[in-house]
Amino acid sequence: MERFNDMQQIKRHFFAMRNGIVADVLRKAGSPFRIIFGLTLPQITDVANATGKNAELARRLWDNKTTRCSMLLAPMIMPEDAIEKAEALQWCADAPVAEVTDVLCHRLLCRLPYASEMVELLAEGDVSARYTSLRLALNLVRRPDARLDGWERMARDEEVRGEAMTRMVAHQLADEIDFIKNPI
């Protein structure tokens, strides 16, 4: 019986669950990935659950920048205690599209002990870094250690900039903070 390594098994999962319609829509929408299997996030989550946490495999998947599913799966299987701040910041810089950034923030970065510090560091960067900062803050805003005043100011400043990429998430963050500070 033929044995497959971890990466081969994951790629076989991707291939078995591929969805041509979703893949075509992503391609037509301008997805930068060369290989698009068309899996949905719930399907990728199923693969993550079947795979389990594995730092080495997560890094190999993250480095597979030509494949959408690989970059979305990597943050889901990276153990929180296996990624240092410098590597996490590099992953933020490497994220090619908002979809990858969203999954990275939601499934990995918000669980890191230095997540609030990352919000501050990323807020000083280019538009992509600022998007990551806002998106991560949105994931952290209800935590007791949330820096509401600073994050609200950051969100309001970003709204004024009017960047297409950040405008909506900045507005969401500002609204969420306003709701937390002024509950009905």
* Shared-domain flag, residues 132 and 54: no
* Shared-domain flag, residues 91 and 146: yes
- Give, in degrees to the nearest 5, the angle at Cα 18 between 65 and 104: 40
* Shared-domain flag, residues 182 and 120: yes
Number of domains in the chain: 2
The length of the chain in residues reads 184
Nearest of 152, 109, 156, 111 to residue 132 by alpha carbon: 109
Number of Cβ within 10 Å of residue 54's Cβ equals 15
Domain boundary among 47, 82, 117: 82
**Who contacts 13 (Cβ-Cβ below 8 Å, separation ≥6)?**
47, 50
Reported for 86-91, long-range contacts at CB under 8 A and 24+ positions apart, including other chains, are 88/112, 88/114, 88/118, 89/118, 89/121, 89/122, 91/62
Nearest of 64, 83, 82 to residue 14 by alpha carbon: 64
Report pLDDT digits (tens) over 118-167: 999 999 999 999 999 999 999 999 998 889 999 999 999 999 998 999 99
* Shared-domain flag, residues 30 and 91: no
* Shared-domain flag, residues 53 and 78: yes
Residue whose pair of structure tokens reads 């893949």 in the numeric block: 23
What's this model's pTM, rounded to 2 decimal places?
0.91
* Shared-domain flag, residues 136 and 69: no
* Shared-domain flag, residues 94 and 61: no
* Shared-domain flag, residues 106 and 156: yes
Q: Which domain holds residue 140?
A: 84-184
Extract the residue ranges of the chain whose pLDDT is less than 50: 1
Phi, psi angles (nearest 5°) of residue 35: -115, 115
pLDDT of residue 19: 85
Domain boundary among 55, 82, 109: 82
Q: Which two tokens stand for residue 137?
A: 């803050």
Residue whose pair of structure tokens reads 């609204």 in the numeric block: 175
* Shared-domain flag, residues 50 and 96: no
